[in-house]
Every structure is written in C-alpha cells, then in structure tokens.
Amino acid sequence: MRRGKPDKNHQKIKKALELRGFLVVDVKCIKGFCDLLAIKEYKVFFIEVKDGDKPPSKRRLTDLEMDFKRKIAGRGFYEIITCIKDIDEKIV
C-alpha cells in the first residue's frame, strides 16, 4: 500500500540523522507506520516527519498516525520531527 507523498523536508531529515550516526530506514511507503526508523546505540526511534513550514493544523497527526503512536508506546522512542533543530533537541 502506498501513502501520500513525503513532506518536503523528509530527505533532509533523513540525511541529518545519518550524519549524526544513525542507521535510518525509510518506511514512508508502509501505510499505518511512521516515516523513518532511526537506530543508534541500541535505541530505536520511530520518527514521523512533518513540514515545519506548514501551519499547525496541517502538521496534525492523522488517525492512522495516532493509532500507530499508541501501538508502539513503550516499545521504542516516538518523535515528531519538523526540522533539524528538533533532531538535536529531541533525539541526540
């Protein structure tokens, strides 16, 4: 199943994570899952990428995204990332 097209900052976020030493797997194409899996030092981060240039109403999680967030609670780290600064503040 395909999902909508990635946010415009998707590849930039992926590359920034890789430059910080993460193994990054792009899973955007899996419906009902997060956008990226980032793994480093035995920690798994489930990352939902949102475009920080869009208004908050356009960055809201969809019902499927909210359901996924609930399902993985306690099984890893879930973060919504809108920019490179978010990576440094929330993950690194």
Angle at 45 between CA 62 and CA 7, to 5 degrees: 45
The predicted model gives 22-46 an average pLDDT of: 95
Q: Please give the mean pLDDT across all residues of the chain.
A: 92
Which one, of 50, 41, 26, 29, lies nearest residue 77 by Cα? Answer: 41
Please say if the pLDDT value at position 6 is more than 90: no
- Judged against a pLDDT cut of 60, whether residue 1 lies above it is answered with no
- Predicted local confidence at residue 7, as pLDDT: 83
Choose among 71, 73, 13, 17: nearest CA to 40.
Answer: 17
Give domain 10-90's CATH architecture: 3-Layer(aba) Sandwich (3.40)
Domain ranges of the chain: 10-90
